[in-house]
């Protein structure tokens, strides 16, 4: 029964993506395909390399945090952890990907509380770097974005808040752990408003674990400012590379751009990202494509934006998923049986 439900979900998702792409591409399909023919092998390789480097850098940060906690934890261990988790994140649930990361940490003899602190710190530092760079990117072209996308601005603002508010909540818990009971009450109130059925005990247990992880973070990382700065720089490089892909794609397709267009492309890329962050849609399939085309059309034109969108989605999502999937299959760091066992445990945990 569960397999049938999964097949139905995949079919519905596939039909939705095809429908969204059809609506976006139907009027200019021939022109779009002709433009895509400008792409050559070397530019394709460059785009795939830049995109995949961003995945590797995510793993580098895990390696840096892991090495601080345990001397024999190396950068390649973090890279392996990051690539496997990215693949699982793209094809499964976020909770399953995190659980698999915990299994991989355990295999490297890292204690559970230390492993949790690594994941917490990784997410916290990434979010700080992301919000700083996103705010800068939007600010430098704010007038253009407001004039062109008045209806979309609220979604981008909500996307920013979705990243900012949890950061504030974590900061409060970090400095004042006793606030966790107040936070539980606030979460329960929101869940009642949203008609989410989650037991109070489950929330309390998970939040207590999270608070313990924060205290472990405080002991391990907060005093090492040089490490925090290095991680911030790696995260910044990772974000710059990721959001430079639209301008690189435009160049690869021989779309006319100038040096003055670089900041605008950069801002538009972050703007797309923030809008997608505000949408509670798993995987953002279909929506990511149409949002990208919508935002870049005033900048490069409808046909160019559609062609860029196709290449952008293939490079940033599907190619990375395939490469990380291949790595997950061949790496000795984790095997399929362990993943299946962890998936069963994650499902049971979600039911409670």
Alpha-carbon span 319 to 310, nearest angstrom: 12
The residue that leads in pLDDT, 333 or 294, is 294
For the chain, what are the domain ranges? 41-351
- Among residues of the chain, what percentage have pLDDT more than 90? 43
Tell me what pLDDT residue 309 has.
Answer: 92
Please give the structure tokens belonging to residue 187: 């979460």
Tell me what pLDDT residue 19 has.
Answer: 65
Angle at 305 between CA 247 and CA 278, to 5 degrees: 85
* Ordered DSSP codes for 161-201: HHHHHHHHHHHHHHH-GGGHHHHHHHHHHHHHHTT----HH
Tell me what pLDDT residue 130 has.
Answer: 95
- Does residue 285 have a pLDDT over 80? no
- Does residue 127 have a pLDDT over 80? yes
Alpha-carbon span 5 to 1, nearest angstrom: 6
| pTM over the 0.95 mark | no
- Does residue 274 have a pLDDT over 60? yes
Residue-wise pLDDT tens digits, 152-183: 999 999 999 988 888 887 777 766 766 767 77
State residue 333 phi and psi, 5-degree precision. -70, -20
> Under a CB-based contact definition with an 8 Å cutoff, are residues 81 and 105 in contact?
yes
The residue that leads in pLDDT, 83 or 186, is 83
Residue-wise pLDDT tens digits, 238-263: 999 999 999 999 999 999 988 888 99
Tell me what pLDDT residue 298 has.
Answer: 93
CA atoms within 13 A on the CB side of 111: 8
Tell me what pLDDT residue 106 has.
Answer: 86
**Residue 8, SS3 per DSSP:** helix
The residue that leads in pLDDT, 4 or 51, is 51
Confidence of residue 12 (pLDDT cuts 50, 70, 90): low
């Amino acid at each position: 029964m569960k397999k049938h439900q999964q097949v139905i979900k995949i079919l519905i998702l596939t039909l939705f993506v095809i429908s969204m792409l059809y609506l976006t591409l139907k009027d200019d399909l021939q022109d779009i395909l002709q433009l895509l023919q400008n792409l050559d092998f070397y530019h394709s390789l460059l785009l795939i390399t830049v995109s995949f480097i961003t995945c590797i850098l995510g793993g580098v940060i895990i390696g840096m945090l892991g090495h601080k906690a345990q001397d024999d934890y190396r950068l390649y261990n973090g890279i392996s952890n990051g690539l496997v988790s990215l693949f699982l994140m793209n094809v499964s649930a976020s909770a399953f990907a995190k659980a698999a990361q915990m299994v991989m940490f355990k295999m490297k003899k890292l204690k559970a509380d230390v492993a949790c602190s690594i994941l917490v710190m990784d997410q916290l530092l990434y979010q700080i770097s992301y919000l700083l760079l996103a705010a800068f990117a939007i600010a430098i072209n704010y007038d253009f974005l407001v004039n062109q996308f008045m209806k979309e601005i609220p979604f981008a603002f909500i996307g920013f808040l979705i990243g900012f508010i949890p950061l504030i909540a974590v900061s409060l818990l970090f400095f004042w752990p006793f606030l966790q009971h107040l936070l539980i009450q606030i979460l329960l109130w929101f869940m009642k408003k949203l008609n989410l059925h989650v037991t109070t005990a489950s929330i309390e247990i998970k939040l207590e674990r999270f608070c313990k992880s924060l205290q472990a973070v405080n002991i391990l990382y907060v005093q090492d400012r040089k490490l925090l700065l290095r991680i911030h720089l790696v995260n910044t490089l990772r974000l710059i590379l990721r959001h430079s892909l639209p301008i690189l794609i435009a160049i690869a397709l021989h779309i006319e751009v100038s040096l003055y267009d670089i900041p605008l492309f950069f801002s538009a890329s972050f703007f797309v990202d923030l809008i997608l962050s505000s949408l509670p849609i798993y995987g953002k399939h279909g929506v990511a494509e149409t949002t990208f085309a919508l935002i870049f059309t005033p900048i490069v034109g409808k046909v160019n934006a559609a062609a860029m969108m196709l290449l952008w989605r293939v490079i940033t999502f599907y190619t990375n998923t395939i490469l990380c999937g291949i790595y997950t299959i061949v790496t000795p760091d984790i095997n399929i049986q362990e993943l299946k066992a962890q998936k069963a445990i994650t499902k049971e945990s979600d039911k409670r």
